[in-house]
Amino acid sequence: MAIYLDDWTSGTRVYGNICVRANRAVLLGGGRDNVIENNIFVDCNPAMHVDARGLADWTKSYRDGTNNWMFDRLKEVNHNQPPYSVQYPKLANILEDDPWVPKGNVIARNICVGGKWLDLHGVDPKWLDMQDNFTEGDPMFLDPDKMDFRLRPDSPAFKIGFKQIPTDRIGLYEDEYRRSLPYDISASCGTSVIGLYEDEYRRSLPEQHQ
């Protein structure tokens, strides 16, 4: 597994990753309201695994009240009142909305080449919001043999709204704590490596990342 959203992890965004030859590249373990978006999966088996472990036999003690600690903790913070109900509006009525059902997960604008795209375990497909995933055809990577999975300018994946992953701005970088890199990382993908990058979610970088 490359990215594991374990036991009902919810409200997490998985964006802009490149997973190559990973088993269960993204495992969504029964949680809700997660967003899996704009990732590249190459020869993964599967790229996406989604299960409904909240409905499994081994979680029955949570559902029948035998093991009630999660509900007790939830009620202790008055989850259906401000400030929790304002900051986390979907949490306000979760106890009345089939809390064990993995609803609200969005899987959108991902690229999957080779391997297997989707594996569902106990999940009704209607619980998932699947949007514009590129799972058939050639996305036209720049040089996949050299692990360069940037898209060519005429890639058909851009038509579904996929955004180029800035591989030249991701990974290890040199600073006052790491004086040199252990090997030439850029040689494996034809790009330089800087680290964090600015986008609509990270408006600016700490000084050492610039």
Q: Give the pLDDT means over successive 10-residue stretches in the chain (210 positions).
A: 94 96 96 97 97 94 89 92 92 91 97 97 96 97 94 97 90 82 53 49 56
Q: Residue for token digits 């700490």?
A: 206
The residues, ordered by sequence, that sit 6+ positions from 58 with a Cβ below 8 Å of its Cβ are none
Alpha-carbon gap, residue 116 to 159, rounded angstroms? 22
Check: CB of residue 127 under 8 Å from CB of residue 55: no
**For residue 191, what pLDDT is reported?**
39
Sign of CA dihedral 149, 42, 137, 160: negative
Collapsing DSSP to helix, strand or coil, 94 comes out as helix
**For residue 124, what pLDDT is reported?**
96
Alpha-carbon gap, residue 43 to 25, rounded angstroms? 10
Check: CB of residue 192 under 8 Å from CB of residue 170: no
Continuous segment of H or E residues that includes residue 150? strand 148-151
The residues, ordered by sequence, that sit 6+ positions from 209 with a Cβ below 8 Å of its Cβ are 173, 175, 194, 195, 196
- Does the N-terminal peptide bond of residue 46 adopt cis geometry, omega within 30 degrees of 0? yes
Alpha-carbon gap, residue 24 to 3, rounded angstroms? 8
